[in-house]
Every structure is written in structure tokens, then in C-alpha cells.
Amino acid sequence: MMMKRSAFVAALSLALAAGSAALAADATGKWSGEVKLPTGQSLPFVAHLKQQGDVVTGRLEGINGAPDVQITDGKVAGDTVTFSGVRQIQNGSVKFNYIAKPMGANGMHFQILRDDGKAAPLESHTTKVGPE
């Protein structure tokens, strides 16, 4: 009985680990959505992500003609993707931290946090629209 239980626990652990890896592997691709600002204005949010193991690289498309933002410190832990990026806002550099989790079969929910805490968190529900 003990051996069967140990085998079941081991199999369950492997299945859960594989499930987490499968969710994390979905980070590679082009993710598109919108960010709604507190003013009610919506801005496009497009992330180009590439995952290799637990490292994520890529870029965020610039907004309104601004240059693209290179992703830094990108990583995956379980089903959570995190990275940072610096946007140019009103002639200044502002660092943002991004936390993304799977949302349904083909989506990812991003929480966007201004590193200096000077604004409320923003969100974007994105859809995978293509390969990286």
C-alpha cells in the first residue's frame, strides 16, 4: 500500500511540475492588448517575449511613436513571468515592473507597476497574436 501511495505521489508531483512548465513555456510569442489609464484613455500594449528555460528576453512596443522598450531581468517562476522595462515619459526615464500570469488557453494577464510607486498599478489582458 505504501509503495502504491509513494508512486502516486511521485507521479502527481511530476504531472504538476510538467503542467507548470507547460504554462511557463507559453511565454514565447507576441502578446497584444490594451492598458486603460486612470484617465479612461486606452493605450496599446504589445509585448514580444522569448523564453529560454527560466529566462525571458524581448521588448515592448513603443507607444505613440516612442522607442521600443527592452526587457530586463526577465524570468519565469512556475506560471509567473516577471520583467522590468524603462519607458520615456515626459522627458524622463520611468522604470516599470511587469508581472504576467496565464489567462485562459491563449491569453496572459499583465500587472504593470511603476517602480517608484507614484501611480496606481495598471493592467492589460493580452492575447497571443503570433510567434515572437
CATH architecture of 2-130: Beta Barrel (2.40)
Residue 1 predicted with pLDDT over 70: no
Dihedral sign (CA 33, 59, 103, 121):
negative
Checking phi first, is residue 38 left (phi over 0); if not, alpha (psi -120 to 50) or beta? alpha
How do residues 34-66 score in pLDDT, each as one tens digit? 999 999 999 999 999 999 999 999 999 999 889
How do residues 64-122 score in pLDDT, each as one tens digit? 889 999 999 999 999 999 999 999 988 899 999 999 999 988 999 999 999 999 999 99
- Look at the pTM and tell me if it is higher than 0.85: no
Domain boundaries, the chain: 2-130
Query: What is the residue-wise DSSP string for 49-108?
Result: EEEETTEEEEEE--STTPPPEE-EEEEEETTEEEEEEEEEETTEEEEEEEEEEE-SSSEE
Average confidence (pLDDT) over 10-27: 46
Average confidence (pLDDT) over 19-43: 80
CA 60 from chain centre, in angstroms, equals: 11
